[in-house]
Amino acid sequence: MEIKTFGVVGSGQMGNGIAQVAAAAGMTVIMSDIKEAFCEKGLATIAGSLDRLVKKEKITQADKDATLARITTTTDLKEMAKADFVVEAAVERQDLKFKIFRDLDEICPAHVILASNTSSIPIGSIAAQTSRPDKVIGMHFMNPVPMMKLVEVIKGIATSEETFKLTWDLSEKFGKVPAQANDYPGFIANRILMPMINEAVFCLYQSVGNKEDIDTVMKLGMNHPMGPLTLADLIGLDTCLAIMETLYDGFKDSKYRPCPLLRKYVEAGWLGRKTGKGFYDYK
């Protein structure tokens, strides 16, 4: 099946990045969100990202204009009926994702593949919300999407080989490198990454080191491009907490217990870069 029109549900930091790479690959893109202001902000973020690529001479002004021209925005989820493939990129809340997939299942024609950019919620449970579990798959992009090469492609127990291959090929068309993961909480990326970030938060919580020294140790000692607390701020502390809760609930193992300090920051609304304050101050 040829994918010509690509739908993205959500215009936040992940959704607008996915929309950008799909449009840059030549697809017609429909990007939806619940408010027009969110759509406008997402489109402005894409324009800014493309401007930086023009400035670096990685694309031309004509490339930028053509990419933007392929993207339309909407607050009406029913517009996804026009798409051949839809990726959900809403916040990491199981109840919200379940509702979106139930709605998409009613809206989209039977042949349409429904993918989730979830970073931890089992694909099988998402697929169970639909009448097409064979056409539901995980397509987990990394942040920032235009720059990061990896896409985790996650098969649920009911995902068909045809759906898997099409999603794999689509990832490559976007200029990404796909990696297959099976359907366990956190998949590969976040089953490894999030406990490390959570442990870094415990080090801060227990005064093992201050935030700068914790990040310096991991950057200079382990050759990470950024420290775990800086990375947590980039990802969003609410997302980090949601993933840790999914791991904890899924494995029933105390080693996945979210650090109380992480929960305290989220309760205070200190979510990282997107709110201007997390472990570091971005105001």
What is the per-residue pLDDT for 136?
98
Dihedral sign of CA atoms 168, 15, 138, 6 in order: negative
Residue with tokens 């809206």: 107
Of 11, 119, 171, 198, the catalytic one is: 119
CA 35 to CA 18: how far, in whole Å?
A: 18
What is the per-residue pLDDT for 134?
98
Of 11, 120, 140, 171, the catalytic one is: 140
Contacts within 8 Å (CB) and 24+ apart, 166-170: 166/1, 166/3, 166/85, 166/113, 167/113, 167/115, 167/137, 167/139, 170/3, 170/85, 170/139
Residue with tokens 């990454």: 193
Residue with tokens 């339309």: 72
Of 92, 152, 171, 198, the catalytic one is: 152
Question: How many other CB atoms sit within 10 Å of the CB of residue 261?
Answer: 17
Q: Is 152 a catalytic residue?
A: yes
**DSSP structural state of residue 226:** S
Of 116, 120, 171, 190, the catalytic one is: 190
CA 278 to CA 11: how far, in whole Å?
A: 22
Q: Is 49 a catalytic residue?
A: no
What is the per-residue pLDDT for 1?
79
Backbone phi, psi, residue 19, to 5°: -60, -40
What is the per-residue pLDDT for 114?
98
Strand, helix or coil at 73?
strand
Q: Which two tokens stand for residue 149?
A: 């090469």
Q: Is 117 a catalytic residue?
A: no
Q: Is 161 a catalytic residue?
A: no
- Cα dist. 158→42, 83, 115, 246 in Å? 33, 22, 13, 21
Residues of the chain under the 50 pLDDT cut:
none
